[in-house]
């Protein structure tokens, strides 16, 4: 089997050296894991103050380090034993595959560790996202990592991945065309969650619907209208449309015209304006800097006063009750000052035709005398 005793000794020495290589790799696993864990320790200490940091670090780096050291040992052992083809290629491919698997496991566990909360993600990557998007981020990145690792492993083993990548591209195109609405709603959900134009419980108005948001789902959002009917709106329409969020008002505006009769004198008007301004300035819920009270117009049947102010209430019910109190105070001021509110009216002045000056004699003679019965027209047959 062996040509000489020297060949046997050389083989035995190489086998012993291979055992030493595997033994050293096994002994160094904890030391290498400790060295690789140093950059992660500071981030974990800031992001996970109440978590066992050492346990988390070991779960991230220990298994990938074992695969890396095992791959290194296999590579060195194949070179030490001077394996011949095809065994040398097989050993090197196994080592490279284990390196790729180790990196994929490391990235996968890193994602599952840091992409568990918005704070952890911000500390790790400086990215701020809504918590509802984190599961989609984790799933998407995991799929990408697995796909890239699979393609690299196939290349290592000599497979042509060009056709596979092209097939995956065509399959992805067909899937995207078939699930166009689903994908558009999914991206709409991501836009709604990331931009946060509204949250559950807020009252919004869009070109299609108005009501209180009850649920934000992956495909659609449920909104309860004031008549208590529930409307389901696709997320892509919400993301592309205009959204008016009434719940995020810090204050609401009181804006109306007060019309008083033309019998009101200038002195009464000036006193009324002063009284209205003082009333609004002293009101506890009215923003003092926003008070606007001006006599603005001689209208057809009234003297119009513009009254405008902001009430520091965002809730619609509370605002309406406060606006009611303001209107009642306005009525009391009008009653106290003996000023009446005008309403649309017309005054008709009647004058007999005989009293009209400048009427031509011929026309005056053709008119019936005053007080006579109206002339009846002949009935058509």
Judge if 222 and 131 occupy the same domain.
Answer: no
Judge if 48 and 137 occupy the same domain.
Answer: yes
Instruction: Kindly report the backbone phi and psi dihedral angles of residue 374, in degrees, each rounded to the nearest multiple of 5, phi listed first.
Output: -65, 145
Judge if 302 and 218 occupy the same domain.
Answer: no
In a domain, 378, yes or no: no
Judge if 253 and 243 occupy the same domain.
Answer: no
User: Quick one: which H or E segment has residue 58?
Assistant: helix 53-80
CB 259 within 8 A of CB 303: yes
Burial code of 251-285, b = ≥16 C-beta within 10 A, e = fewer? ebebeeebbbeeebeeeebeebeebbbebbeebeb
pTM: 0.50
Closest CA to 58 of 69, 44, 72, 71: 44
Q: Please report the pLDDT score of residue 365 as a whole number.
A: 64
Q: The domain containing residue 226 runs over which residues?
A: 197-247
Instruction: Kindly report the backbone phi and psi dihedral angles of residue 356, in degrees, each rounded to the nearest multiple of 5, phi listed first.
Output: -70, 125
Judge if 125 and 43 occupy the same domain.
Answer: yes
Q: Which two tokens stand for residue 179?
A: 């699930």
- How would you write the pLDDT of the chain (381 residues) with one tens digit per residue? 445 666 666 667 777 777 777 777 777 777 776 776 666 666 566 555 445 666 667 777 777 878 888 888 877 777 777 777 777 777 788 888 888 888 888 888 777 776 655 555 555 555 555 566 666 677 777 878 888 888 888 877 777 767 666 666 666 666 555 556 666 777 777 777 777 888 888 888 988 889 999 888 777 889 999 899 999 888 888 888 888 888 888 889 999 999 999 999 999 999 999 999 999 999 999 999 999 999 999 998 899 999 999 999 888 889 999 999 999 999 999 999 999 998 877 667 665 655 656 666 666 666 666 555 555 545 544
In a domain, 320, yes or no: yes
Closest CA to 341 of 264, 224, 272, 260: 260
Q: What is the CATH number of the domain that holds 327?
A: 3.30.70.100
CB 250 within 8 A of CB 266: no
Judge if 41 and 154 occupy the same domain.
Answer: yes
Judge if 158 and 301 occupy the same domain.
Answer: no
Closest CA to 296 of 287, 312, 307, 280: 307
In a domain, 328, yes or no: yes
In a domain, 359, yes or no: no
Number of structural domains the chain divides into: 3
Q: Helix, strand, or coil here: 100? A: helix
Judge if 254 and 243 occupy the same domain.
Answer: no
* Residue 128 burial by Cβ neighbours in a 10 Å radius (0-12, 13-18, 19+): exposed
Q: What is the CATH number of the domain that holds 243?
A: 2.30.30.60
Nearest-Å Rg of the Cα atoms of the chain is: 43
Instruction: Kindly report the backbone phi and psi dihedral angles of residue 254, in degrees, each rounded to the nearest multiple of 5, phi listed first.
Output: -100, 125
Q: Please report the pLDDT score of residue 50 as a whole number.
A: 47
Distance CA 330, CA 324 (A): 10
In a domain, 309, yes or no: yes
């Amino acid at each position: 089997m062996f040509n000489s005793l020297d060949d046997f000794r050389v083989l035995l020495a190489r086998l012993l050296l291979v055992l030493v290589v595997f033994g050293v790799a096994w002994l160094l696993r904890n030391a290498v894991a400790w060295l690789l864990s140093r950059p992660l320790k500071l981030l974990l200490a800031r992001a996970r103050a109440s978590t066992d940091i050492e346990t988390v670090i070991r779960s991230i780096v220990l298994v990938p380090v074992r695969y890396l050291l095992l791959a290194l040992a296999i590579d060195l052992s194949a070179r030490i034993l001077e394996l011949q083809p095809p065994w040398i290629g097989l050993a090197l491919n196994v080592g490279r595959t284990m390196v790729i698997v180790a990196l994929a496991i490391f990235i996968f566990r890193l994602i599952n560790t840091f992409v568990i909360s918005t704070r952890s993600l911000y500390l790790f990557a400086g990215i701020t996202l809504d918590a509802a998007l984190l599961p989609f981020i984790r799933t998407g990145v995991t799929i990408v990592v697995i796909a890239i690792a699979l393609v690299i492993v196939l290349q290592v083993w000599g497979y042509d991945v060009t056709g596979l990548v092209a097939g995956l591209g065509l399959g992805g195109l067909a899937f995207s065309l078939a699930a166009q609405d689903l994908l558009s709603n999914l991206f709409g959900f991501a836009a709604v969650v990331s931009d946060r134009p509204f949250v559950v419980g807020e009252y919004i108005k869009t070109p299609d619907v108005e009501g209180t948001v009850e649920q934000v789902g992956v495909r659609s959002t449920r909104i309860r209208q004031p008549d208590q009917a529930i409307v389901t709106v696709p997320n892509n329409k919400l993301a592309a449309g205009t959204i008016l969020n009434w719940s995020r008002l810090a204050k609401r505006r009181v804006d109306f015209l007060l019309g008083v009769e033309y019998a009101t004198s200038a002195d009464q008007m000036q006193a009324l304006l002063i009284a209205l301004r003082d009333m609004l300035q002293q009101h506890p819920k009215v923003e003092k800097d926003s008070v606007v009270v001006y006599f603005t117009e001689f209208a057809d049947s009234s003297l119009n006063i513009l009254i405008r102010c902001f009430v520091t209430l965002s809730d619609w019910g509370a605002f309406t009750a406060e606006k009611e109190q303001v209107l009642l105070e306005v009525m009391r001021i009008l009653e106290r000052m003996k000023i009446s509110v005008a309403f649309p009216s017309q005054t008709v002045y009647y004058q007999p035709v005989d009293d009209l000056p400048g009427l031509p004699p011929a026309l005056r003679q053709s008119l019936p005398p005053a007080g006579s019965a109206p002339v009846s027209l002949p009935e058509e047959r």
